[in-house]
Amino acid sequence: MTRSAVAKWVVVVFGLATAVGQRNKAPNATSNDISCPVAEVRTEITTRLPKPWWNTPQEGKLLSTEIQVIAGEKTLVCHYSAYGTQVNVMRKFPEGARDCKATGKQFECR
């Protein structure tokens, strides 16, 4: 696995673990704002590297948000920058939400 692929995987796993901790409030008739779990991510390669190799953990800021269909399910996707590329953190639509839209760096669901 390439270093970039490992870094992306670490960010995705970290993001999913963080997103699981968020509460999924059932939306009422008005819209609810949902923010990405963090403003900045820290990524690290978790693969043990043979000596004398090493890597530097990267920090990346939130760039944008997007709605994607992943495995047939509407998904909220937060795009971050790390290792000179884009890495994503995602979660499913909140329970009870019929529609969500990306609005800059957060989501609006109803």
Contact 39, 61 (CB under 8 A): yes
Contact 11, 41 (CB under 8 A): yes
Number of structural domains the chain divides into: 1
> How does pLDDT run across 73-109, given as a tens digit for each residue?
999 999 999 888 999 999 999 999 999 999 999 999 9
**Looking up tokens 């329970």, which residue turns up?**
95
DSSP 26-87: PP-SS-EEEE-S-SEEEE---SPPPTT-----EEEEEEEEEEEEETTEEEEEEEEEETTEEE
Single pTM value for the model: 0.68
Count CA atoms closer than 13 A to 34's CA, side-chain side.
30
> How does pLDDT run across 1-58, given as a tens digit for each residue?
565 554 455 444 455 444 444 444 443 445 689 999 999 999 888 999 999 999 989 9
Domain assignment of residue 70, given as a range: 3-109
**Looking up tokens 């968020």, which residue turns up?**
22
Q: Decide: helix, strand or coil at residue 14.
A: helix
